[in-house]
Chain A
Amino acid sequence: MPSHDVLVIGAGLAGQRAALSAAEQGVSVGIVSKVHPVRSHSNAAQGGINAALNPDDTWESHAFDTVKGSDYLGDQDAIEIMAREAPEEILHMEHLGVTFHRNEEGKLGTRAFGGASAARTYYVADITGQAIMHVLYEQLMKYSEQITRYEEWFSSSLAIDEKGECCGIVTRNVADGSMELFQAKSVILATGGSGQIWKPTTNALICTGDGIAMAYRVGAKLMDMEMIQYHPTTLAGKGFLITEGARGEGALLLNKNGERFMEKYAPNKMELASRDVVSRAEQTEIDEGRGFPDGTVALDITVVPKKRIHEALREIVLVGRDFAGVDITREPIHIKPGNHYTMGGVKTDVEGRTDIPGLYAAGEVACVSVHGGNRLGANSLLDTLIFGKHSGRDAAARALRTAWSKPSGKVLEDEQAMVDDINGREKGSGRRVSEIKLELGQTMDGKVAVFRDEAGITEALETVRRLKEEAKTAYIDDHGSVFNQDLMGAIELGYMLDCAECSCIGALERKESRGAQFRTDFPERNDEEWLKHINLEKTEDGPEISYSEVTITQWQPEARTY
């Protein structure tokens, strides 16, 4: 049985950072990813990473912007840690080799981003996530003696010992289909979000909520699962992302009458208000008939100097050309709000610890919560690095003081039985897995999106529960061992449905409008009753609801305007 002090599942920014941080403590580390690490979705983070590194800026200002952005649902102790440690982390990444943009003096240069009171976003053109992730992967290759990479291993279950502590994982080698039980003293989930529950989404096909569901199934609490970000600028239909950096560089949002409509919704910050604010503004314009016939509004990047576009927004030039047939330097591009980010997730403390000893979570899979009701642009990369680092360090410390616990072979037998069951279903015994995924995506995008109400969410929840039943008999075509993506897709569907159910329950429960959750039947924020986190725990009868306090250190809730 392969055995590591610390096992990390997922190899995006959070996972790789956690692995490196754990290895620094001298423990043996394994990093397991269902895709090759550089394929991870952190790649898609275009615009940059926030830090109050400039001498004129302060971490308090960064923290306050984040608190306000979160609509006061973020935990301020965690936000303080993130904002305080951000400058050091950016410098660490720079020292490892990230090719950050420089100003004329050769120092790190910044760009403006949404919801921020200072230009504090550090960036590499518009490939910031990719640039940082590839540098971290360089470090994984460098430290290959301390960190064993399991590339293309699909994890399906967490092993819990009789004391209720996490002691390993069951994972499948995609290349040959062999299932194995890996032993560990600490397991860190870094599997990303659950965006694939929505269709369309900016998220990659791999973002199926694996870690959220795996943790939930072994009894870890999930938190604020209703908080789902719709990004203001995505391509209609296809869901591709146009970076907020475009607006940071000066691009405008216009309705079909050519009006700069943000004047009405956020007269001070205009296009650079928080994402939830901008998305609602766009959706209102569209719903009230001031959008284009294809259900969009326009993003006008032509106001940005061409030189600057080519230097700083090159990826967007390519996205416009390849996926919309639009030359963004010459004409506006049609965009709309699209599913983008899971603010909720596995409930953790500031060291990444979940409710289950030995189980950690970091990055989008986790809910610390630094994003609360709405994440600010360029805070996601920061979240992955800071809490990846914390999780790795604490997981290693735990491993150093903990004795080995041998995971029971039963968990492997159960997983094998689950796989055999899926493989054994006859063609035509039920629906195709792909059909169920499609219905799920359309339902969630229709009913649990920018604007929500009780009737819609209830309908979505009923659909999700029906689909859960249908998934039990859904069949696949591939019954082989080598690279069986069909089988993995069926297992992922199970993860997605668990996450979807929790998002619906959370959205139904929170009877107020805060951050990304806008209830048309409860259109106001209600601090008296709802300034609290919604926790969900698995029971036989579905998710059980409980609440936890929001940590407030120095910023009392205020009215939120931009």
Chain B
Amino acid sequence: MAEYTIKVRRYQPESGEAAYWEEFGVDLDPSLSVLDGLLQAKDREDGSLAVRCSCRAAICGSCGMKINGKSGLGCQTQIGEAQELADKKSSAVGGASEGNVITIEPMGNMPVIKDLVTDMESTHWTKIRRVTPWLLPHGEPPEREYIVEPESMVDITQSMACIQCGACVSSCLSMEADPLFIGPAALAKAYRFVGDPRDAETAERLTDLAHDPHGIYDCTHCFSCVDACPKGVAPMDQIMRLRRKAGENGIEDPNSGHSHEMAFVKIIEKKGTLDESLLLQESFAPGVLGKLMPTKRAIKEMIGSIPVAIRGIKTGKMRSLPKLIPGVHHKLPDQDDVKAIYKHAEEHNEEFNLYIKGEEGDEEAAVEEGLEPAAAPGAEEATNG
């Protein structure tokens, strides 16, 4: 047993008062969860403390919350570990001005109903319904089961592992900037159908998600969702899979998302580093031909980008010559490593998700990956574009 102080962000809508912080002292084994701490406070001190919870075992997805500022599940976070993190944070800001207590807040990017209870319907579930979240097979089903590649089922089971807790939505930085962004959970759900060989509307789904200005190209690869997800769904990886499939299907999106990604790939392949001054023209008017005979849309997009460029110059983001004048930016001296990376990526075009990784090569490595859902493989996929 150990004593902890949990500091909870409270909001009681019927009191007429604004949200406030309240501290509770709890007494429990360090291996028990933050949710156990909250329930103890609720049971012993204040039954009006509202928190959704049910299974206590990270299966039902009810108790999404922010613990020490990080989105996750209350039941999956051991209170002892949460305390260690609070201690670290406290010493990082130079001592215990606020006392090193565990802070608990409702999830972000959603309205708060009461205390830790958020309105998931108006945000999360509305977005889920946006992606036509049911299977659209072709014609009548077969007499027996659909015969499909075993790996394809394992592949989409990673998305099926989503428990709809909203932790990824809570942590999504893109959604903070653009509340209309379809977001990590709903896009992971979309991949569950796009990747499903039984679904007949793959191209339609991809076109829809690529054309939506708040769709798959609204993600900025920040990894917050991968980090927050308690089930190893890695929503960002699923978004990257959607992008890749959209590219493979030759979907021209009005957001120029795909061509923008291709521009990244091309520039880095050539120079080993990102020449930002080339990025804009490569995105909208790729290649020599694109520049000699720019399309109307390319011209429009380039002109449309001028204010962004000016803002960049003003704020100092685009002030040096290599950033302004195309081609001035230096190449990396040794291109061999870059080429090797590209070669490896091309040879390993087939993707493996966490469920399949257990079968891959080095067993010890597989174990490590299995235990750390947010580990490096996701990063490789992201930079592969």
Residues of A within 8 A of B (CB): 35-36, 38-41, 43-44, 91, 94-97, 99-109, 124-125, 127, 130-131, 134-135, 138-139, 141-142, 151, 175, 204-206, 238, 240-241, 306-311, 314-315, 317-319, 321-323, 325, 327, 329, 432-434, 476-478, 480-486, 489
Contact = CB atoms under 8 A, between A and B. Distances in A.
B358 A306 contact: yes
Contacts of A309: 358
Nearest to A490: B47
B270 interface: no
Given A485-B50, A486-B47, A43 B129 contact: no
Contacts of A485: 47, 50-51
Given A38-B163, A432-B43, A482-B14, A94 B145 contact: yes
B134 A310 contact: no
A106 B47 contact: no
A142 B128 CA distance: 12
Contacts of A108: 145
Nearest to B35: A205
B271 interface: no
Nearest to A327: B371
Interface residues of B, number: 68
B366 interface: yes
Contacts, number: 187
A472 to B, nearest CB: 18
A106 B147 contact: yes
Contacts of A434: 42-44, 47
A322 B134 contact: no
Interface in B47-82: 47-48, 50-62, 76, 78
A309 to B, nearest CB: 7
Contacts of A131: 157, 160
A539 B147 CA distance: 56
Given A43-B55, A101-B153, A134 B48 contact: no
Contacts of A477: 46-48
A130 B59 contact: yes
Interface in B122-147: 128-129, 133-135, 137, 141, 144-147
Q: Which of A36, A40, A103, A317 counts the most B-chain CB atoms under 10 A from its CB?
A: A36
B55 A481 contact: no
Contacts of B358: 306-311, 314
B3 interface: no
B146 A95 contact: yes
B114 A44 contact: no
A127 B160 contact: yes
Contacts of A315: 59
A100 B355 CA distance: 14
B366 A307 contact: yes
B175 interface: no
A141 B55 contact: no
Contact of A124 (B76, B133, B160, B162): B160
Nearest to A475: B47
B363 interface: yes
A142 to B, nearest CB: 4
B340 to A, nearest CB: 29
A310 B367 contact: yes
A270 to B, nearest CB: 26
Contacts of A139: 134
A103 B31 CA distance: 39
A245 to B, nearest CB: 15
Contacts of A433: 47
Contacts of B56: 204-205, 238, 240
B202 interface: no
Nearest to B135: A97
A386 to B, nearest CB: 18
Contact of A310 (B12, B59, B370): B370
B150 A106 contact: yes
Given A97-B198, A489-B47, A41 B13 contact: no
B149 interface: yes
10 contacts: A36-B62, A38-B61, A43-B163, A125-B355, A127-B157, A134-B164, A306-B367, A432-B47, A433-B47, A434-B42
Contacts of B144: 91, 107
Contact of A141 (B52, B129, B193): B129
Interface string B162-192: 1110000000000000000000000000000
Nearest to A142: B134
Contacts of A104: 150
A255 B193 CA distance: 46
B133 A106 contact: no
Contacts of A308: 358
Contact of A480 (B48, B198, B354): B48
B359 interface: yes
A484 B113 CA distance: 11
Contact of A478 (B47, B113, B366): B47
Given A307-B366, A310-B370, A311-B355, A91 B133 contact: no
Contact of A44 (B47, B59, B196, B366): B59
Contacts of A135: 135
B121 interface: yes
A171 B150 CA distance: 45
B363 A306 contact: yes
Given A91-B145, A141-B134, 6 more contacts: A36-B120, A101-B153, A106-B148, A142-B134, A434-B44, A483-B113
Given A329-B367, A489-B47, A35 B355 contact: no
A372 B163 CA distance: 32
B154 interface: yes
B156 interface: yes
Given A130-B163, A482-B113, A41 B54 contact: yes
A99 B156 contact: yes
B157 A96 contact: no
Closest 7 CB pairs of A and B: A310-B358, A478-B48, A434-B43, A97-B135, A486-B47, A477-B47, A95-B141
Contact of A38 (B117, B145, B164, B366): B164
A151 B121 contact: yes
B266 interface: no
Contacts of B148: 102, 106
Nearest to A480: B14
Q: Which of B129, B135, B363 has the most CB of A within 10 A?
A: B135
B161 interface: yes
Nearest to B46: A477
A27 B215 CA distance: 37
B357 interface: yes
Contacts of B359: 307, 310-311
Contact of B61 (A39, A151, A311): A39
Contacts of A483: 50, 113-114, 117
B343 to A, nearest CB: 28
